């Protein structure tokens, strides 16, 4: 095992000691952001692309997108990250909660909170039209089955 100067090791301990409460603060912020989103109402999952995925050199066309979104995981709405690969667009983006994301993403994705909330509001507004159609259809089905008003 390599031998390191004790002063060098102390510098690392100091960096970890300084970063730990800040990382806790960032985690707490994500928890509060997620609760805010839930308190505002979520009608369906939605997402935004925050980066392209490349295979090899960036001169190639991207093969997919890295996403930040709001998805239902184990019955609860969560802010998540995922990857969409163009070759298989039907495949689930393999969503995982933001708290499980690498630290650099939990930090950089703070810049995407406002755009994600704006997308959620647009998605909710758009989805109301589909819900209105479905509600009318449900009433028509009940009428057809002579169940309306029972």
Q: Is residue 96 part of a domain?
A: yes
Q: Is residue 143 part of a domain?
A: no
Q: Is residue 131 part of a domain?
A: no
CB 113 within 8 A of CB 40: no
CA distances for 38 relative to 9, 33, 106, 107, 139, angstroms? 43, 9, 19, 21, 29
pLDDT in tens, 20-55: 999 999 999 999 999 999 999 999 999 999 999 888
pLDDT of 89 reads: 67
pTM confidence score: 0.86
The lowest-confidence range among 14-18, 24-28, 137-141, 146-150 is 146-150
* Mean pLDDT confidence for 72-88: 93
Q: Count other Cβ atoms within 10 Å, centred on residue 2.
A: 3
CB 105 within 8 A of CB 81: yes
Q: Is residue 110 part of a domain?
A: yes
pLDDT of 61 reads: 86
Domain around 42: 6-123
Q: Is residue 100 part of a domain?
A: yes
pLDDT of 12 reads: 96
Q: Is residue 146 part of a domain?
A: no
Domain count, the chain: 1
pLDDT of 1 reads: 74
Q: Is residue 98 part of a domain?
A: yes
CB 30 within 8 A of CB 79: yes
Q: Is residue 141 part of a domain?
A: no
């Amino acid at each position: 095992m390599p031998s390191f100067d004790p002063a060098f090791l102390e510098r690392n301990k100091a960096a970890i000691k300084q970063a730990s409460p800040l990382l806790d603060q960032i985690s707490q912020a994500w928890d509060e952001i997620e609760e805010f989103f839930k308190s505002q109402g979520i009608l369906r999952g939605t997402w935004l692309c925050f980066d392209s995925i490349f295979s090899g050199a960036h001169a190639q066309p991207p093969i997919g997108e890295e996403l930040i979104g709001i998805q239902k995981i184990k019955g609860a709405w969560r802010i998540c990250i995922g990857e969409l690969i163009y070759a298989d667009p039907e495949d689930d983006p393999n969503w995982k909660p933001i708290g499980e994301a690498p630290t650099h993403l939990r930090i950089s994705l703070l810049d995407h909170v406002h755009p994600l909330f704006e997308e959620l509001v647009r998605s909710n507004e758009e989805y109301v039209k589909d819900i209105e159609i479905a509600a009318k259809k449900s009433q028509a089905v009940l009428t057809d089955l002579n169940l309306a008003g029972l």
